[in-house]
Amino acid sequence: MSMLSSIAQMFGREPGRKPHDSLYAPQARVIHEAKRDIKGKKERVAAIKAERDRKMSYKWRNRRWASIIIVNALFVISFSLDIQLIEGSLSASRVMGFHFADLNAALQVMLAFKEILINLVIGTVTVLILWWVLGGRTFCSWVCPYHLLSEFAEKIHLRLVEMKLVRDLTMHRGVRTVLYVIFAGLAFGTGYTVFEAISPVGILSRALIYGPGLALIWVFALLAYEVFVTRRAWCRYMCPIGLTYGMVGITSPVYVKYDLKDCLHEGDCRQVCMVPHVLEPTKKGFALKDITALGPDCTRCGMCVDICPTNSLNFDIKGLNKLL
């Protein structure tokens, strides 16, 4: 998959069909041809069964949960004890004197006020550099408190689907792009940051730090929708913050690398992925190269890395191997 295709998918375009053989890089073509030769053989079936029978690792999941809890707890503790090391919330904060501002929130504010605010510029540059280095949507899975709640809601949803009490419905991913434009237009037209008033990220962050309010009703309603209708509805299909950070991560040096050679293409990685369209190259015959960097919409959550026993998916840093 080319970078342009990955960006288009981030904005909502549906994944394409299996590519023609002429588009494969030479090394990828050799691997695909070898895998066609063993199609349907007992060895591959046995390997897939062994893969699914193994105990899944939770290394990256546990690290990610710890990160979300620790980051948000630092805000709560700092405010509760009035030690002022960390002030504000995830929307805008000051950490040991350094300004930090959520990029989407800063954009909303500047559109609403129709001017460039210097403190926001300083804060956004700091955050921009941080999330560019780590990979834009790393914020979603390693910091965002709603992501953690949504993950538990997803588990309940999938259990209800298994019991055939609900259906696992989907939405068009282009909804997120439409909402991004709508909220930007509302901020500019009304002079009010409409999105910040309904953003579950900001609502939860402020509720944890300053105490709960009526806005939490909206968060619980959203979680209920994800439990009974569409799993990961907000994070996967709707959240403008995710799109903002996805754009930041287009050229990020940290990414999840897919190695075609040993992949069995059983699809378990796509089942656990919050944004499965980024894992299109893992489908049999879809990878154009033997080594592929997953697209910028990837949240770097590590769930696909945890579930893959053949190490076909791993975190990597661009250029590091050349330096070493």
What is the tally of structural domains in the chain?
A: 2
The answer to whether the beta carbons of residues 290 and 31 sit under 8 Å apart is yes
Is residue 66 located within the same domain as residue 163? yes
* Domain around 221: 60-247
Return the structure tokens found at 178: 């439409």
Higher pLDDT, 203 or 51: 203
List the beta bridge partners of residue 313.
258
DSSP state of 89: -
The answer to whether the beta carbons of residues 304 and 256 sit under 8 Å apart is yes
What whole-number distance in Å separates Cα of residue 303 and Cα of residue 270?
10
User: pTM value?
Assistant: 0.90
pLDDT digits (tens, 9 = 90+) for 36-85: 776 556 666 666 666 666 667 899 999 999 999 999 999 999 999 988 78
Is residue 128 located within the same domain as residue 239? yes
DSSP assignments along 7-37, one per residue: HHHHTTPPP-PPPPGGGS-HHHHHHHHHHHH
Task: Tell me the C-alpha to C-alpha distance, in Å, between residue 169 and each of 73, 158, 225, 229, 230.
Answer: 34, 11, 11, 6, 5
Is residue 48 located within the same domain as residue 193? no
Is residue 98 located within the same domain as residue 164? yes
Q: Is 9 exposed, middle or buried (0-12, 13-18, 19+ CB in 10 A)?
A: buried
| The pLDDT value given to residue 41 | 63
The answer to whether the beta carbons of residues 138 and 68 sit under 8 Å apart is no
DSSP state of 237: I
pLDDT digits (tens, 9 = 90+) for 161-189: 999 999 999 999 999 999 999 999 999 99
What whole-number distance in Å separates Cα of residue 238 and Cα of residue 175?
6
Is residue 43 located within the same domain as residue 174? no
Geometric angle at alpha carbon 173, from 185 and 238, rounded to 5°: 50
φ, ψ dihedrals at 150, nearest 5°: -65, -30
* Domain stop point among 247, 273, 291: 247
What whole-number distance in Å separates Cα of residue 142 and Cα of residue 160?
27
Is residue 208 located within the same domain as residue 281? no
Mean pLDDT of 299-308: 94
Is residue 72 located within the same domain as residue 49? no
Query: Which is nearest to 209 in space by CA: 90, 64, 32?
Result: 90
Higher pLDDT, 104 or 319: 104
pLDDT level of residue 1 (50, 70, 90 thresholds): low
Poorest-pLDDT segment among 20-24, 65-69, 100-104, 114-118: 114-118
Is residue 46 located within the same domain as residue 164? no
DSSP state of 252: -
pLDDT digits (tens, 9 = 90+) for 107-131: 998 999 888 877 778 888 989 999 9
- Would strands 313-317 and 291-293 be described as parallel, antiparallel, or unpaired? unpaired
Given a cut of 50, is residue 324 above it in pLDDT? no
What whole-number distance in Å separates Cα of residue 95 and Cα of residue 75?
10
pLDDT digits (tens, 9 = 90+) for 235-293: 999 999 999 999 999 999 999 999 999 898 888 899 999 999 999 999 999 999 999 99
* Domain stop point among 247, 268, 298: 247
Helix (H, G, I), strand (E, B), or coil: what is residue 157?
helix
pLDDT level of residue 322 (50, 70, 90 thresholds): very low
Helix (H, G, I), strand (E, B), or coil: what is residue 255?
strand
pLDDT level of residue 323 (50, 70, 90 thresholds): very low
Is residue 167 located within the same domain as residue 136? yes
Is residue 45 located within the same domain as residue 188? no
* Domain stop point among 247, 272, 292: 247
Count of positions (residues) in the chain? 324
Is residue 88 located within the same domain as residue 188? yes
| The pLDDT value given to residue 274 | 92
What whole-number distance in Å separates Cα of residue 52 and Cα of residue 79?
46
DSSP state of 230: -
Is residue 207 located within the same domain as residue 305? no
